[in-house]
Structure 1
Amino acid sequence: MEYIAVLAPSVVVGLIFWFAMKSIFNADKSERQAEARAQEEANSRNQGPAPEGPAAK
């Protein structure tokens, strides 16, 4: 029983740290995906129709 009392605080702190890091990485991943979607949308809006004529090259 002594081992549980000694190891429990470390395990609990480790789990809290793991959950915190997991939530930070998930938030970063979501932010990167949102930024990529916004950038793709902005690029598609800025493309517009292709120019025509001899000056188009």
Structure 2
Amino acid sequence: MDNFWLNALWSVTPTVIVGLLFWLIIRSILRSDRTERETYAKLEAEERAKRGLSTDTQNGEKQ
């Protein structure tokens, strides 16, 4: 019986490791994208404030 559980553990281990790596990679991609979008939005708001434009523009139209 001990051999069965050891074999089961060795069978599942690679799948778990690959799954964790995939999860970490996707998580880091999504976090970096979110951070980049927040930074870009902040820079864009600063530029709009410098030019005196409203931050509530829609579809590129000035208000």
Q: Report the TM-score range of the alignment, normalised by the length of the smaller protein.
A: 0.7 to 0.9
1:28 is matched with: 33
Matches within 5 A, 1:7-46: 7-46=12-51
Give the share of equivalent positions with the same residue, in percent.
29
Deviations 1:2-44 (A, max 9, x none): 1111000000000000000010000000000000000100000
Inter-partner Cα distance in structure 2 for 1:28 and 1:14:
21
Gaps of 5+ in 1: 49-57
User: Matches of 2:27 and 2:37 in 1, distance apart?
Assistant: 15
The higher radius of gyration belongs to 1
Taking CA–CA contacts closer than 8 Å with sequence separation of 6 or more, which of the two structures ends up with the larger relative contact order? 2
Q: How many residues align?
A: 48
Instruction: Give, as a single letter, the amino acid of the residue that structure 1 aligns with 2:43.
Output: A
Q: Which runs of 5+ in 2 are unaligned?
A: 1-5, 54-63
| Runs of 4+ that moved beyond 4 A | none
- TM-score normalised by the chain length of structure 2: 0.73
CA–CA distance in structure 2, aligned partners of residues 12 and 26 of structure 1:
21
